[in-house]
Amino acid sequence: MAKPMEQITWQELETGAVVVEVGNSVQYETGSWRSERPVVDKEKCIKCMFCWLYCPEGCIRQAEEGHFEADLTYCKGCGICAEECPVKCITMVIEEK
């Protein structure tokens, strides 16, 4: 990735406020917003992908073991995946510092 956002000065911006690097919001880690974390019961996951489909962050992916889980770098902890999982294998767990 190019420079982190906070190091870019206004002189370096493209004319017309053009952003040339597509999708560079990946550098903004929204996982820090989270107060609850989705935890998947790997055994119970039927790999239906509904959590992936409904996640507003698009941050759920298939783990190597085959089940689906959130990328905690971006997961905001909204709880939609836990609510929508047809087999209820996701539990929201409070984040503790």
Partner 1 sequence: MAKTSISSPKHVEREEFFAPGHRACQGCAEVLAVRLVLKALGKDTIVAMATGCMEIISSPLPITSWRVPWIHNAFENAAAVISGCESGMKALMRKGKIPAKKINFVGMGGDGATADIGMGPLSGALERGHDMIYVCYDNEAYMNTGIQRSSCTPYGASTTTSPAGKKSIGQHTQKKNMVEIAAAHGIPYVATACPSFPFDLMEKVKKASETAGPAYIHILSVCPTGWRINPSEAIKYGRLAVNSCVFPLYEVDHGKYRLTYKPSDKKLIPVSEYLKGQGRFRHLTDSDIETIQAATMKAYERLLRLSEQE
- Residue 5's binding partner out of ligand SF4, partner 1, none, with CB under 5 to 8 Å set by partner kind: partner 1
Is 93 one of the binding residues for ligand SF4 (CB under 6 A)? no
Beta-bridge mates of residue 70: 60
- Count, residues near partner 1 per rule CB under 8 A: 39
Q: Out of 44, 46, 65, 76, which residue is the one contacting partner 1 (CB under 8 A)?
A: 76
Is 8 one of the binding residues for partner 1 (CB under 8 A)? yes
Helix (H, G, I), strand (E, B) or coil at 96: coil
Is 43 one of the binding residues for ligand SF4 (CB under 6 A)? no
d(CA 68, CA 60): 7
| Of 64, 74, 67, the residue nearest 90 (C-alpha) | 67
